[in-house]
Amino acid sequence: MLTVFNHPLITHKLALMRDKNTSTKDFAQQLDEIAGLMAFEVSRDLPTKEKRVETPMGPCVTEELASDVVLVPILRAGLGMVDGIRDLIPTAKVGFIGMFRNEKTLQPKEYFAKFPDMSNATVMVLDPMLATGGSASAALTKIKERGAKNIKLVCLVGVPEGVKRIEEDHPDVDIYLAALDEKLNEIGYIVPGLGDAGDRIFGTK
């Protein structure tokens, strides 16, 4: 299932990120805030269980989260989405997968992986950019090999090619996008997109 947010607050913040004159600091700040806003909706179907508390007025039967949430940013750019979601879900555990896309072949190469137990968790895989979908697809395959069963892919900007790739390779994974852009250009960048997300978050270009 694909969810595209198209929400005025998210679109407004994304417009700042798209602007090539936005500073590294402001770019990272907007990404952080959008990730938090998206988390609210992505977490809508998290399982809950009964909890009894005493309010100042007396007993209350209410609910609390019933299972772990694990965030898995795809390094580097996915790192920029972690804090915004942890602000909302402070009990979330964090795993990491490093993927580097070869600039010529556009094939992803994994260079790092470290995960907590994901077998009973809702796992949110984070990456601002869903371009060819190669990096996300490879990350999802690895995360499933490590035991994850309930997985959501949370990206900022995607294109139809990337969505199609994930729907074909991982039909069980729900995809969330802040915006669905038009296309990939001849060097595999999203158009209009926002440029190289990793470089813009970490000021490396």
Cα–Cα distance measured from residue 192 to residue 168, given in angstroms and rounded to the nearest whole number: 24
Q: Which of residues 105-124 bind ligand URA (CB under 6 A)?
A: none
Instruction: Determine whether 105 is an active site residue.
Output: yes
**Is position 65 an interface residue for ligand PRP (rule: CB under 6 A)?**
no
Structure tokens at 44: 């809508």
DSSP 3-state of 123? strand
The residue range among 18-26, 34-42, 93-101, 171-179 that interacts with ligand PRP, by the rule CB under 6 A, is: 93-101
The residue range among 50-58, 74-82, 114-122, 140-148 that interacts with ligand PRP, by the rule CB under 6 A, is: 74-82
Answer whether 97's CB lies under 8 Å from 49's CB.
Answer: no
Instruction: Tell me how crowded residue 187 is: count the other CB atoms within 10 A of its CB.
Output: 8
Closest CB 139 distance from ligand PRP, rounded Å: 8
The residue within the footprint of ligand PRP, chosen from 7, 76, 144, 146 (CB under 6 A), is: 76
Instruction: Determine whether 87 is an active site residue.
Output: no
- The item of ligand URA, ligand PRP, none sharing an interface with residue 76, based on CB under 5 to 8 Å by kind, is ligand PRP
Helix extents (H) in 43-132: 82-88
Cα–Cα distance measured from residue 176 to residue 9, given in angstroms and rounded to the nearest whole number: 16
DSSP 3-state of 204? coil
DSSP 3-state of 201? helix
- The item of ligand URA, ligand PRP, none sharing an interface with residue 189, based on CB under 5 to 8 Å by kind, is ligand URA
The 95-124 site mask, x for binding ligand PRP (CB under 6 A), equals ----xxx----x-x----------------
Cα–Cα distance measured from residue 16 to residue 50, given in angstroms and rounded to the nearest whole number: 41
Catalytic residues: 101, 105, 196, 199
Q: Which residues bind ligand PRP (CB under 6 A)?
A: 74, 76-77, 99-101, 106, 108, 127-136, 162, 188, 196-198
